[in-house]
């Protein structure tokens, strides 16, 4: 059995002048080396080779389809559009790879990839036929088909389908996580809507302090004459102004008047602020 050497450290006691401390000691150990996983090595090599062949197919198809489209449009636009033919089925293969644990979800990108590949192969064949080289057009189209078939085999080997019960469990977990993710956006939308409603209500409110209280004259207003006659609902600011116009200048008396005619919960600080601004 093959082994490899590895460095390790451990704490050991070390005494100097009668005082012992735990210090690090370095040592080496021989660890067994597992046998080479040839299956993984071969699969990795096949996957890498398939990726290289995809690049070859893309170059060939882009050159052929780009030259075909360049007959009716400018070359940059033609070759840019030509890339889309192969890119479509390559992207479908990527989505199929992401769904390798769920055959039901992988079916749609697989069939869409086949359809996109067929369109690309027809375009390559049409280019050869219009150029008077039908055989080359057919062979060039087959290149993309071979690469796609190879990738289908590789993806099928990588795929790990789940049994029915485990698949149902995964679907339920995915649905639950998807619901939680959807609620994040929904809660954000509801919060934004409630904020807009609150802002609209605040903008339409005449005065948040408006809460009239018809309590009659104030016996402690500091004057023998009755308080001003009430003619309608008042705000705190209006009540303060009326009290000043009526000769009431004491902050306490003004506050009592505000409590009677405007807002029973008005604060002394609010009244004082209006008094200073008067």
Low-confidence ranges of the chain (pLDDT < 50): 208-226, 229-232
Task: Tell me the C-alpha distance between 166 and 9, whole Å.
Answer: 44
Report the residue count for the chain: 278
Pick from 147, 138, 148: which is nearest to 64 by CA?
138
Per-residue pLDDT tens for 69-98?
Answer: 988 889 889 898 888 888 898 899 899 888
Per-residue pLDDT tens for 121-138?
Answer: 999 889 889 888 888 889
Please report, for the chain, the start and end positions of each structural domain, with discontinuous segments joined by +.
3-32, 46-158, 209-278
Q: What is the pLDDT of residue 13?
A: 92
Assign 3-class secondary structure to the chain.
Answer: CCEEEEEEEEEEEEEECCEEEEEEEEEEEEEECCCCCHHHHHHHHHHHHHHHHHHHHHHHHHHHHHHHHCCCCCHHHHHHHHHHHHHHHHHHHHHHHHCCCCHHHHHHHHHHHHHHHHHHHHHHHHHHHHCCCHHHHHHHHHHHHHHHHHHHHHHHHHCCCCCHHHHHHHHHHHHHHHHHHHHHHHHHHHHHHHHHHHHHHHHHCCCCCCCCCCCCCCCCCCCCCCCCCCCCCCCHHHHHHHHHHCCCCCHHHHHHHHHHHCCCCCCHHHHHHHHHHC
Q: What is the pLDDT of residue 205?
A: 65
């Amino acid at each position: 059995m093959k082994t490899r050497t590895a460095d390790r450290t451990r704490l050991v006691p070390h005494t100097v002048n009668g005082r012992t401390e735990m210090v690090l000691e370095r040592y080496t150990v021989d660890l067994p080396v597992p046998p080479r996983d040839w299956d993984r090595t071969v699969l990795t090599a096949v996957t890498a080779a398939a990726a290289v062949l995809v690049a070859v197919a893309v170059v060939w198809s882009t050159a052929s389809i780009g030259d075909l489209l360049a007959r009716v449009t400018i070359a940059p636009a033609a070759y840019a559009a030509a890339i889309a033919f192969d890119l479509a089925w390559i992207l479908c293969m990527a989505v199929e790879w992401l769904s390798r644990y769920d055959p039901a979800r992988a079916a749609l990108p697989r069939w869409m990839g086949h359809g996109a590949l067929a369109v690309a192969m027809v375009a390559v064949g049409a280019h050869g036929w219009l150029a008077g080289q039908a055989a080359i057009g057919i062979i060039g189209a087959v290149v993309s088909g071979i690469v796609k078939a190879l990738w289908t085999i590789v993806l099928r080997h990588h795929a790990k389908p789940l049994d029915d019960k485990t698949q149902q469990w995964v679907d339920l977990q995915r649905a639950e996580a998807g619901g939680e993710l959807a609620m994040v956006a929904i809660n954000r939308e509801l919060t934004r809507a409630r904020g807009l409603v609150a802002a609209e209500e605040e903008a339409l409110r005449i005065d948040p302090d408006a809460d009239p209280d018809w309590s009659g004259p104030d016996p402690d207003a500091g004057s023998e004459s009755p308080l001003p006659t009430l003619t309608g609902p008042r705000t705190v600011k209006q009540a303060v102004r009326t009290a000043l116009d009526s000769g009431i200048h004491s902050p306490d008396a003004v506050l009592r008047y505000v409590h009677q005619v405007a807002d029973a919960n008005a604060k002394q600080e609010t009244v004082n602020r209006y008094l200073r601004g008067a």
